[in-house]
């Protein structure tokens, strides 16, 4: 006596198999947004930002990769784990002038530091070997003020 396989499941299975490899070799970028809270002040700067103050920073991370068998380029969960491990754990609820020594804590300087940390972790975890690439970071210091960094600028 054989197993009864409902028709609907068979059809669904075929559909998934067909879609699996459809765009297998396509590079696609995915983006995830995070926030962290931190305090800082600027050195050698005449203006209100020379005084200690805080921000809810927003970091927008874009990573590209080749679509895998189930149509995922880079798992959003993997981006979250990297962010938590290498950025959030070091910067959230911290005084940036203390944790980022020898750096004036401008959005521009911080975003380059963040790039280096994320890139290093992607290298160590073998993600770069799999074809994952950090494409762009955007770091909002306030809702209207932000810095942007792109892969071509880091490579060039
Ligand atoms: N190019 C940069 N300019 C300034 C930076 C910076 O990192 N890079 N940082 C500051 C201050 O840290 C400040 O907290 C943020 O500046 P600003 O946008 O002027 O903040 P406001 O709250 O005044 O923003 P509004 O939306 O205009 O009220 C200064 N400059
Ligand atoms: Zn500031």
- Assess if residue 84 is contained within a domain: yes
Cβ–ligand 1 distance for 108 under 6 Å, the answer yes
| Residue 156: band (very low, low, confident or very high) from pLDDT cuts 50, 70, 90 | confident
pLDDT in tens, 96-106: 999 998 999 99
Q: Is the CB of 78 under 6 A from ligand 1?
A: no
User: Pocket of ligand 1, candidates 40, 49, 108: which has the most ligand atoms within 8 Å of its Cβ, to mutate?
Assistant: 49
Q: What CATH number is associated with residue 145?
A: 3.30.479.10
**CA of 55, closest atom in ligand 1:** 14
Nearest in space to 71 (alpha carbons), one of 19, 134, 13, 128: 19
The domain containing residue 112 runs over which residues?
A: 23-155
In the chain, the number of structural domains is: 1
**Does residue 2 lie within any of the structural domains?**
no
Active-site residues, by number, are 49, 93, 141
Say what the pTM is.
0.89
**Domain-embedded: residue 42:** yes
Judge whether 74 lies within some domain. yes
Is residue 100 a part of any domain in this protein?
A: yes
Residue 1 has pLDDT above 90, yes or no: no
Whole-angstrom CA distances from 73 to 13, 14, 85 are: 22, 22, 21
- Say if ligand 1 is within 6 A of residue 141 CB: yes
Residue 7 within a domain? no
Burial environment of residue 4 by CB neighbours within 10 A (0 to 12, 13 to 18, 19 or more): exposed
CA of 97 to the centre of ligand 2 (A): 11
pLDDT digit string, tens, across residues 6-21: 444 444 566 666 555 6
Q: Is 9 contained in some domain?
A: no
The alpha carbon of 19 and the centre of ligand 2 are apart by a number of angstroms equal to 47
2, pLDDT greater than 70: no
In the predicted model, is pLDDT for residue 120 greater than 90? Answer: yes
Report which ligand 1 atom has the smallest distance to the Cα of 105.
Answer: 7
Using an 8 Å Cβ cutoff, are 50 and 42 in contact?
Answer: yes
4 inside domain: no
Query: pLDDT tens digit string along 27-83?
Result: 999 999 999 999 999 999 999 999 999 999 999 999 999 999 889 999 999 999 999
């Amino acid at each position: 006596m054989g197993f009864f396989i409902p028709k609907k499941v068979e059809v669904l299975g075929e559909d998934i198999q067909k879609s699996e490899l459809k765009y297998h070799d396509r590079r696609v970028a995915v983006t995830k947004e995070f926030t962290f809270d931190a305090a800082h002040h600027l050195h050698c700067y005449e203006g209100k930002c020379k005084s200690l103050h805080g921000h809810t920073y927003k970091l927008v991370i874009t990573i590209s990769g080749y679509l895998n068998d189930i149509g995922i380029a880079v798992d959003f969960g993997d981006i979250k784990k990297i962010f938590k491990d290498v950025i959030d754990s070091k910067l959230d609820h911290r005084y940036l002038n203390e944790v980022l020594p020898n750096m004036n804590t401008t959005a521009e300087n911080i975003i380059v530091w963040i790039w280096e940390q994320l890139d290093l972790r992607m290298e160590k975890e073998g993600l770069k070997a799999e074809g994952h690439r950090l494409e762009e970071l955007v770091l909002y210091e306030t809702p209207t003020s932000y810095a942007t960094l792109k892969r071509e600028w880091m490579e060039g």
